[in-house]
Amino acid sequence: MVTSGLAVLSYLLGSLPFGLFAGLLRGVDLRKHGSGNVGATNVVRVLGKPLGFAVFALDFLKGLVPALFFPALAIDAGSPWSRDALALCFGALAVVGHVFPVWLKFKGGKGVATSAGLCFGVAWSATLVSFAIWFLVLKGSRYVSLASLASAIAFPFVFVAIEGTGAAFGPRRIVTVALAVLALTIVYTHRSNIGRLLRGEELRAGAVRTGDKRT
């Protein structure tokens, strides 16, 4: 019962649309501005960097808290699952909540910040390397979506490189598989961005197009 309750709580925590809340504080409905997305990138584009970074931090915590703290509570309550399995389960439910929030008719953000929080809770060192990849790709291309895709795809490989054979074949192989699935999920949520990148229509970081609403 405790584990089930924590699973539901993970989803509900992930479903909190902090980007939408930030916009409403400024009298702006993000769903009608910029890309129409409620994630941190659109908050930066529409409302500026300070609020955007704050939303990113909050979305990051939505993935970190369930992955880092909820497993111990479940294990103390008698859950037979391993810590890694519980962390992945709770963190993944937070990502699902962010991407498909019940409060917004299941139309949420793209899951990058919340996924990053989950990854940091499971493998902080690999996450820091992936953050470095994100930063370098962003600096070189000025495409936030391309940077997010590159860091997400690289993350499972970085994890295996740091953890060694134990990540590929040992006890933590479940983490590797789950991170690969997470990377594919990020690719899926960015499918429209990929199309715009291929057509040369994607907005670069800092660019604003008045009246543009894209998902």
Give the pLDDT of residue 210.
45
Does residue 109 contact residue 98 with C-beta atoms inside 8 Å?
yes
* Residue 71 to residue 58: CA distance in whole angstroms: 20
pLDDT digits (tens, 9 = 90+) for 10-52: 999 999 999 999 999 999 999 999 888 899 989 998 999 999 9
Give me the pLDDT at residue 171, please.
77
Provide the pLDDT for residue 206. 67
User: What is the tens place of the pLDDT at every residue in 69-98?
Assistant: 999 999 999 999 999 999 999 999 999 999
- Answer whether residue 140 shows pLDDT above 50: yes
Return the structure tokens found at 171: 């006890």
Per-residue pLDDT tens digits for 155-191: 999 999 998 877 888 778 889 999 999 999 999 999 9
155 Cβ contact list (under 8 Å, min separation 6) = 119, 126, 127, 130, 179, 182, 183
Give the number of residues written for the chain: 215
Query: Which SS3 state, helix, strand or coil, does residue 169 take?
Result: coil
Helix axes 144-163, 124-141, angle to 10 degrees: 150
Contact assessment for residue 40 and residue 110, using Cβ atoms and an 8 Å cutoff = no
Nearest partner of 47 among 33, 58, 61, judged by Cα: 33
Identify the pLDDT of residue 162: 92
CA distance 49 to 34: 14
Q: What is the pTM of this model?
A: 0.90
Helix (H, G, I), strand (E, B) or coil at 83: helix
- Tell me what pLDDT residue 215 has: 34
Beta carbons within 10 angstroms of residue 143's beta carbon = 19
As a whole number, mean pLDDT of residues 196-205 equals: 90
Q: Which amino acid is at 118?
A: L
> Which H/E stretch holds residue 113?
helix 112-122
In the numeric block, the tokens 């470095």 are attached to 132
Average pLDDT estimate for 113-131: 96
